[in-house]
Structure 1
Amino acid sequence: MIILGSTGSIGVNALHIAQEFGIQIEMLSAGSNITLLSQQIKQFQPRIVVIKDSTHIPALQSQHKNVEYFDSGESGLLRALEHTHSPLALNAIVGFAGLKPTLKILEMGKTLALANKESLVIGGQWVDVSRIIPVDSEHFSLYYLQHNQPFRELILTASGGALRDTPIEYLHSQNAKEALKHPNWAMGKKITIDSATMMNKIFEVLEAFWLFKTSHIHAFIERNSIVHALVGFYDGSFTAHIAKNDMRLPIAYAMLGKKALQTPCNQAKELFKPINLCSLNAFKFEEIDIQRYPLWSLKDTLLKKPSLGVVVNAANEVAVEKFLNHQICFGEIESYIQRAIQHFPDGALTFDEIEYLDSEVRTFLSYSS
């Protein structure tokens, strides 16, 4: 298989599963963590390797003579994919950069295990979702539950993020150190901040909109991160997916398919060990408070006008980067996104506008901040 974004948390977990189940890795791509990538190359012996910065290629070539093909950058990644034969690719690239690889993988007829939210947030209407297996824990849970049955509504759950109990009067001035202390998950910095603002859940709503073809999507806070999603049916009943807060479970299903159901427990005892239900705290679902999470108010706007996804994503990337670099405080993230929506109210109406509009939003915010 192919793993794009191999040094991030999703990529690392995917390689753990590949090792556990003897899955051969044909291609790896990574960003700036060359030390970890080099270790991965040594262990998994990929045929093709792509990195962000070409200056690291000579050193990697000298260390790893077994690699047949090295390339770099966005164009290099797309070129490298053309040399692959694997039927399955995991896209765990972070941000806008994941869109073109998603389209390329699907164009080549491969099955795509998708962990790159932005592919659907930005370009959902142009992405063929029929060959996508969702890797997000919430969308995996919905995929697991609904089995193509008619449903009334989909419900996502959120942990509430690192600042869920911070008094509202102190939220605006919080810094990155505090916002990165996620109570339940070990994730990358950007997605941890998106969890604290609830932007991550906004993105997941748009993902669900494209994946499951419905606008009847809601979300609640479930602090344990044990109930990952629910499906509501027309008879008034609900089904819930209860599982460990471990991303290896959806990754395993994406990589193994039905084999994950048939795998003997002794082959991956830790991964498939059942939850002790008696040890769990009572489940409690809480409404998402707009005062605490003002970005949640964008949900209905984006469901009515999903073309705004590219605007919201670009503005959020700019704001989160500034926040992590201590240039703005937590409360200013929302203002960046609202300014962008007001200035670009139509979003991307054609596929050709996506890249241009993404650049325009970033430029606008750099001058207006």
Structure 2
Amino acid sequence: MKRCCVLGVTGSIGVQTVDVCTAHPEAFQITSISAGRNIPQLKKLIAQLPQLKAVCVQEEADCQRLAQEYPNLEWVWGETGLLRLSERDDYDVLVNALVGFVGLKPTLQAIEAGHDIALANKETLVVAGVFVNAACRQHHVTLLPIDSEHSAIFQCLQGSRREQLSRLIITASGGSFRDKTREELRGVTVAQALAHPNWSMGAKITIDSATMMNKGFEVIEAHWLFDVDFDHIDVLIHKESVIHSLVEYQDHAVIAQLGTADMRLPIQYALSYPERLELFNSQPLDLATVGTLHFAPADFARYPLLGLAYEAGRKQGTMPAVMNAANEEANAAFREGKISFLDIEELVIDACRTLAFTETPSLDAIFEADRQAREFVKSHLKGA
């Protein structure tokens, strides 16, 4: 029996994690969860989790009200609450499904407490991969990927020796605007950007998919997860999202992992590894119905934030933290109607080119770089 703490339980990954765990009650229990402001969804999930002991919400008022409604549960709130959940001793694996930089501290806290990590929070490794990997080594903690692309790579590496690896090939759908030219991106709406052709994801990640910032994050994440340099990590546009990623070996054999666009597969594999369990409520892949698969190179001129991510990954230091923080703020500003879609790229690139760079930062310096980048974007929004 594997006991789980799920952070970000009301989001897409969190809800699907509950689906996986409740479908296999003999294998998994969820003992603690966190949610943001979606209290109706939280209540539905609480009803599905009889082993639940503790819950964290974002707002203190929600915490106080829900503590009266559910007196049998321990209630905490805010960042402090996330850290309290992460350090608890009544679970085995932390499922980090939070979105954004907020996921870093709970990950480090859980590692320090000796818990394995099933990671869907890209930003944890993007901004602080060196610190996270060092902490995992120090505390003998296993880090397992939940992202479909990294799960695919992880699966393709099973049974092979890492020294025989030639390169990683991360596939990308291209997002909601993959068939538009740069000129056609002028004036696109938030609703259009949120209409992802293949995946059902949260709003922030869907916008990141449209800019390909999300794929850039995945490149950096792959570097830290699999210890592969950036010259041997490629991105391939694959519209159907059937092949989730590939691994090429030194003999030119290419191993791919294929499946439907269902995140429950990588979630379940991360939780059940090294075993495979039956996946319920999911359709198997039917290649005859798919018929044809398409591939194209990822063009940095078309997707400048992808190119920026490669640059930030190679440079490391504080640049990934600046890139991520500027993107979080610009992404939110676009969703709120404050800037245009192409302004996202401009603000993120400007922040990376303008703000001071530290080559070997402390963890505190990473947090300071995050703060400065957010202020940089907000100041430009005020002046716009």
Give the TM-score category using the shorter length: over 0.9
Give 3-state SS (helix, strand or coil) of 2:205's partner: helix
Instruction: Give me the whole-angstrom Cα distance separating, in 1, the residues matched to 2:301 and 2:366.
Output: 31
Task: Show the counterpart of 2:323.
Answer: 312
Mapped contact 2:313–2:320 kept (Cα < 8 A) = no
Instruction: Give me the whole-angstrom Cα distance separating, in 2, the residues matched to 1:362 and 1:77.
Output: 22
Mapped contact 2:23–2:280 kept (Cα < 8 A) = no
- Would the alpha carbon gap of residues 240 and 347 (structure 1) be closer, same or farther in structure 2, given more than 3 Å must change? farther
Matches within 5 A, 1:1-369: 1-22=4-25, 23-45=28-50, 46-67=52-73, 69-128=74-133, 131-147=142-158, 148-149=160-161, 150-215=164-229, 216-259=232-275, 261=276, 263=277, 265=278, 268-271=279-282, 273-307=283-317, 308-344=319-355, 346-347=357-358, 349-369=361-381
Instruction: Give me the whole-angstrom Cα distance separating, in 2, the residues matched to 1:338 and 1:111.
Output: 35
Instruction: Give me the whole-angstrom Cα distance separating, in 1, the residues matched to 2:88 and 2:247.
Output: 40
Mapped contact 2:182–2:302 kept (Cα < 8 A) = yes
User: 2:324 is matched by which residue type in structure 1?
Assistant: N
**1:367 Cα offset (Å):** 1.7
What are the Cα deviations for residues 295-319 of structure 1, in whole angstroms up to 9, with x where unaligned? 2221431232122110100010011
- Would the alpha carbon gap of residues 337 and 347 (structure 1) be closer, same or farther in structure 2, given more than 3 Å must change? farther
Instruction: Give me the whole-angstrom Cα distance separating, in 2, the residues matched to 1:175 and 1:228.
Output: 28
Mapped contact 2:86–2:107 kept (Cα < 8 A) = no
Mapped contact 2:111–2:117 kept (Cα < 8 A) = yes
Instruction: Give me the whole-angstrom Cα distance separating, in 1, the residues matched to 2:281 and 2:77.
Output: 36
Mapped contact 1:172–1:332 kept (Cα < 8 A) = no
User: 1:165 is matched by which residue type in structure 2?
Assistant: D
Instruction: Give me the whole-angstrom Cα distance separating, in 1, the residues matched to 2:144 and 2:246.
Output: 18
User: 2:199 is matched by which residue type in structure 1?
Assistant: W
Instruction: Give me the whole-angstrom Cα distance separating, in 2, the residues matched to 1:37 and 1:63.
Output: 13
TM-score by length of 1: 0.94
Structure 1 stretch 201-210 or stretch 42-51: which is displaced more?
A: 42-51
User: 2:212 is matched by which residue type in structure 1?
Assistant: M
What is the Cα-based RMSD across aligned positions, in Å? 1.5
Instruction: Give me the whole-angstrom Cα distance separating, in 1, the residues matched to 2:221 and 2:355.
Output: 21
What are the Cα deviations for residues 274-333 of structure 1, in whole angstroms up to 9, with x where unaligned? 312222232221011233312222143123212211010001001101100111111111
User: How many residues were matched structurally?
Assistant: 362
User: 2:213 is matched by which residue type in structure 1?
Assistant: M
Instruction: Give me the whole-angstrom Cα distance separating, in 2, the residues matched to 1:6 and 1:84.
Output: 19
Structure 1 stretch 142-151 or stretch 3-12: which is displaced more?
A: 142-151
User: 1:220 is matched by which residue type in structure 2?
Assistant: L
Instruction: Give me the whole-angstrom Cα distance separating, in 1, the residues matched to 2:84 and 2:313.
Output: 35
**1:247 Cα offset (Å):** 0.3
TM-score by length of 2: 0.91
**1:269 Cα offset (Å):** 4.3
Instruction: Give me the whole-angstrom Cα distance separating, in 2, the residues matched to 1:275 and 1:368.
Output: 46
Instruction: Give me the whole-angstrom Cα distance separating, in 2, the residues matched to 1:138 and 1:61.
Output: 39
Instruction: Give me the whole-angstrom Cα distance separating, in 2, the residues matched to 1:338 and 1:182.
Output: 24
Instruction: Give me the whole-angstrom Cα distance separating, in 1, the residues matched to 2:280 and 2:17.
Output: 16
**1:170 Cα offset (Å):** 1.7
Instruction: Give me the whole-angstrom Cα distance separating, in 1, the residues matched to 2:271 and 2:307.
Output: 35
**1:347 Cα offset (Å):** 4.8
- Would the alpha carbon gap of residues 164 and 105 (structure 1) be closer, same or farther in structure 2, given more than 3 Å must change? same
Instruction: Give me the whole-angstrom Cα distance separating, in 2, the residues matched to 1:84 and 1:8.
Output: 24
Structure 1: 4+ residue segments shifted above 6 A: none
- Would the alpha carbon gap of residues 270 and 79 (structure 1) be closer, same or farther in structure 2, given more than 3 Å must change? closer
